[in-house]
Homo-oligomer: A and B are copies of this chain.
């Protein structure tokens, strides 16, 4: 039996994680190996429940074992996920494994939409997900999630009040829109907005989260600086449309995260409003209303991962207006969520932990 186990492990050492470029045994991804007279069973510990390579790795394991072990045994593989983290022990949000900033530079390119469907998709895969709307002046999350009139509960602990994020379709949500009147303008200078953001981060009871997505406002100013000075951000996703005018601002957002004093890894770029089909069947030539593949080309130029294109689908606009009513995702977003989850795992395995930005801005 010991020889059989050695053989199986030898076989599994030939199976590489294509992202992390190491074998599954060395990566500690194989657990609970059990051999009986009739079966071999073990667990693959994935770095994310949204792993797009799940099936690929299972098949690779089976093939490797069949090649090494001639005995006809049934192979039973279970997968579980332990989302990795590169965040150092922190005073603020210590239970959040990954903090992902969704940025764009330019407004109106679909940050909140991308954040919404990616959050839904990650939650559908079984991850514990939070979504924080950091756009103090134009919060969109309450509308998209159809909870404009909801007020989050508050609880007291050690004499301090904590806000409890709302929960919809297994995603924890928080936005200034839940506490401010939606008809009124919040006319504040930067320090007030920064203080509000800090409150939403520090004074909220987020609990354990695999992913906390932070939907940033446009620009590269107070909110962005306060975020990176308050918490260690695992990485950033940049959203753009194919228009040059949006790409220019996306470049600025990328440049901000790459700044020597900031250094938040870019996990990838999403191209939104890529094309439009004028018929319901979505056939024929797509209309490239805002230009063709501008985002894809930018990702190549900047050598950052391209997470995918999202067409202008009427369903996205409609749901944005009336609010989502189920946990149903939309295909291109689901793919993007999986690639993003994968990129987060790669980032955690390869790059140094992000540090709190200490430079005073």
A residues whose Cβ falls under 8 Å from a Cβ of B: 105-109, 112, 137-138, 140, 143-144, 182-191, 193, 217-222, 224-225, 241, 243-246, 248-249, 251-253, 255-256, 259, 262, 276, 278, 287, 289-291, 312, 314, 317-318, 320-322, 361
Contact = CB atoms under 8 A, between A and B. Distances in A.
Contact of A255 (B183, B218, B251): B183
A140 B138 CA distance: 20
Given A143-B248, A144-B245, A185 B222 contact: no
Given A219-B138, A312-B289, A321-B291, A185 B253 contact: yes
Nearest to A180: B252
A193 B225 CA distance: 14
Nearest to A312: B289
Q: Which 9 A-B pairs have the closest CB atoms?
A: A107-B107, A108-B108, A190-B190, A278-B278, A137-B219, A185-B256, A244-B321, A185-B252, A185-B255
A220 to B, nearest CB: 5
Tell me the number of copies of this protein: 2
A172 to B, nearest CB: 21
Given A190-B222, A245-B320, 14 more contacts: A108-B108, A137-B221, A144-B245, A185-B252, A185-B255, A187-B221, A188-B220, A188-B221, A188-B361, A189-B222, A245-B321, A276-B287, A289-B314, A291-B321
A291 to B, nearest CB: 6
Nearest to A360: B189
Contact of A143 (B245, B253, B320): B245
B246 A187 contact: no
Contacts of A107: 106-109, 138, 218
Nearest to A184: B255
A108 B190 contact: no
